[in-house]
Amino acid sequence: MKLLRYGPVGHEKPGCLDQDGRVRDLSEHVSDIAGDALLPATIARLKTLDPSSLPVVDGTPQDDLRLGACVGQIGKFICIGLNYADHAAESGLDVPPEPVIFNKWTSAVIGPDDDIVIPRGSKKTDWEVELGVVIGAGGSYIDEADALDHVAGFCVINDVSEREYQLERAGTWDKGKGCDTFGPTGPWLVTPDEIANHDALGIWLEVDGTRYQDGNTSTMVYKVPHLISYCSQFMSLQPGDVISTGTPPGVGMGQNPQRYLAGGEVIRLGIDGLGVQTQRVNASS
């Protein structure tokens, strides 16, 4: 099942995508794709619905029908750093002996095709396509063998990053990761039964038609079950929390010469089976 949220910013409604690519409204069944709506029992109930019995929403998704982030009211936006060995190498850093955890502030979250705005004073705004894991059943100290039972679904995330703020201005990475608009999420949350193998998904990103990132989730250092278990040792995971699992090589910082976003670019990114995002980059005002 592909769950989504559609409509104007701040007024998104819950929906799903039918087999013909049309949005069907779920408002009579859940109030939002958020919180308890992501619990296993609720997802199971939604899967019993006949999509053809649900109201059709006017418009074509990602065309004349805006999609919001596929998860609403995100409680925690947890990110994993340097989780692809070749990305660590292009960053000039070693593969970490344990997963690196940092945060994106939830005010960074936008729809999959909303504009990215470069922060004032930024000189090094960068891109990062990532596999997102959305938590369904929460928990603490989750056993790795049971971790996938806690997954509501997967999605595409662009972990937009300001490298100077992240790496050169002291403190943690967070200040370069959580700027407004730095968290495009979606277009849809895809339930695990629709993904044959989340460990073997093509993952790519293009800027103005040039492909910079072209990887596969099979090369992740720390796999999804380990990441869920690991994160749950340091915080309780709750329904609707998002874990962004790291990026393959090809970021702007890793180019020779380095390339960063200046405004006016169009970014396209996607993951096999999880959809495509498109963002226009606006220079700071």
**Model confidence pLDDT, tens digit, residues 255-276:** 999 999 999 999 999 999 999 9
Compute the distance between CA of residue 43 and CA of residue 256 in angstroms, rounded to an integer. 46
- Does some domain include residue 21? no
Is residue 147, in this structure, part of any structural domain at all? yes
CATH at residue 212: 3.90.850.10
Residue 284 has pLDDT above 90, yes or no: no
Q: Which amino acid is at 250?
A: G
pLDDT in tens, 43-71: 999 999 999 999 999 999 999 999 999 99
Residue 25 included in any domain: no
What does the mean pLDDT of the chain come to? Answer: 96
* 88, pLDDT greater than 80: no
The domain tally of the chain equals 1
User: Is residue 273 in a domain?
Assistant: yes
Q: Is 29 within the bounds of a domain?
A: no
For residue 60, tell me if it sits in a domain: no
Q: Which long-range contacts (CB under 8 A, 24 or more apart) does 258-266 make?
A: 258/124, 259/207, 260/123, 260/124, 260/125, 260/126, 260/163, 261/116, 261/118, 261/125, 261/126, 261/127, 261/207, 262/118, 263/118, 265/207, 265/208, 266/207, 266/208, 266/209
Supply the range of the domain harboring residue 197: 73-282
**Residue 263 region, left (φ>0) first, then alpha (ψ -120 to 50), else beta?**
left
| Domain annotation covers residue 265 | yes
| pLDDT tens string 145-200 | 999 999 999 999 999 999 999 999 988 899 999 999 999 999 999 999 999 999 99
